[in-house]
Amino acid sequence: MLDRGATTYVSASRIASHGALLRLGPEPLSVAWVNPSRRTWVVGLGVCGEGGGEVRQDVELPAGPWFGGWAFDASRAWPGFDAERWVLPEVLAFWDGARTHLVAYGREGTPRAVLEARLDRVTEVEPVVERGRVTRQADDRQAYEGLVARGLEYLRSGGCSKLVLARALAVKGDAPLSERAVLKALEARNPTCWTFLVRGRDGSAFIGASPELLCEADGGNLTVDALAGTAALGDDAALERSEKDRREHQAVVDDVRARLDAFATRIEAPPRPVIKRLSTLVHLHTPVSARLRGGVSALAAARALHPTPAVAGAPRERALAFLAQHEAFSRGWYAGAVGAMGPARATFAVGLRSAHVKGATARLFVGAGVVEGSTPEGEWLETERKASTMLAALGVGHG
């Protein structure tokens, strides 16, 4: 829970003499928040504050300065990761398209000399020239298809109209996986996605490239992505004709509108979805816009929206109960929310196309929306397509 208490933070900034953001160190990155299509490139080092507070700074950041998010299910968080956490890094670095800026933060009363000394400690780390061998561990396809079959039975019994069923894939390297190399690959291959890193208390990292905006607020204006319905790149026409995918997508749009009703005075959405193209997939996409009521924060709206039918199912409560009983692993922050909050703007993405990375191992998470007309084989193939984003970024099959 973000607590905007009495703590106040101050800052000092300078133009960096260093190069690319992903080379800044020497310690591991504590946060990363990147979207080239939105001209946003931000990374953080260390942790200055947790929870919240006021920040007085002499430079405007393109996002933040509070970074974090929350788990899909607060009762089933990963060890080493809080159910919800927001941090203010000790040092934030961002690129404005021409120069790299460094900003050091400290609590109110921190001498400027201390902040400047913190900036002096920022150095460059050597880029990863060669990655070791990374292999994908064996999957239990039969178990996932069995889960989908149980989900379809539940739908036919009237329990839900939609379920989103996920699976986890294991990856192992012969050396510690390079988080910076993964981030670089994700950014390069997914320039319209929100590439992110959130560091856990145990040193592990949640990394991904989300195609889905949970919501974004600029003042009182709120934008929400309704994203559901998936096909392989190039199958645009088939996706638009698919009755199954249109029903799955409409369930998300309807839920977003219903959940925003208590928070907004105006809600608008186009009558038909459009195609959103990614590096390997296409999705049905409907942008929903709203005007927040006075006194309603973007964080409150985001919490009300999450989890949408795009990552859980509908009705929400029945879908969540089914997932808690039948999914044989903890989603942790997968399909949760990740984002950045500043004084006037806030952006939250859904934690998709992602992996939990710790040392030489990673667990990838992918899911598929199950509605009437779905098949166990079809949903397995959809999750395989979705897994390709992170598998490629992790270097599976290379080295």
What are the pLDDT digits (tens) for 297-321?
889 999 999 998 889 999 999 999 9
Residue 244 annotated among the catalytic residues of the structure: no
Q: How confident is the model at residue 282 (pLDDT cuts 50, 70, 90)?
A: confident
Q: Do residues 63 and 40 lie in contact, with contact meaning Cβ atoms separated by under 8 Å?
A: yes
- The rounded mean pLDDT for the chain is 91
Q: What is the pTM of this model?
A: 0.92
Among candidates 362, 299, 342, 319, which has minimal Cα distance to 69?
A: 299
Among candidates 51, 61, 121, 128, which has minimal Cα distance to 93?
A: 61
Q: Which pLDDT does position 130 carry in this prediction?
A: 65
β-strands 54-56, 8-15 pairing: parallel
Residue 179 annotated among the catalytic residues of the structure: no
Give percent of the chain above pLDDT 70. 97
Catalytic residue among 84, 179, 187, 212: 212
* Side-chain half-sphere exposure of 142, counting CA atoms within 13 A: 0
CB count in 10 Å sphere of residue 19? 11
β-strands 281-292, 274-277 pairing: antiparallel
Q: Which residues contact 180 (CB under 8 A, 6 or more apart)?
A: 22, 23, 29, 125, 127, 128
Element (H, E) at 31: strand 29-35
Look at residue 274 and give its three-state secondary structure: strand
Q: Which pLDDT does position 89 carry in this prediction?
A: 97
Catalytic residue among 162, 184, 276, 386: 162
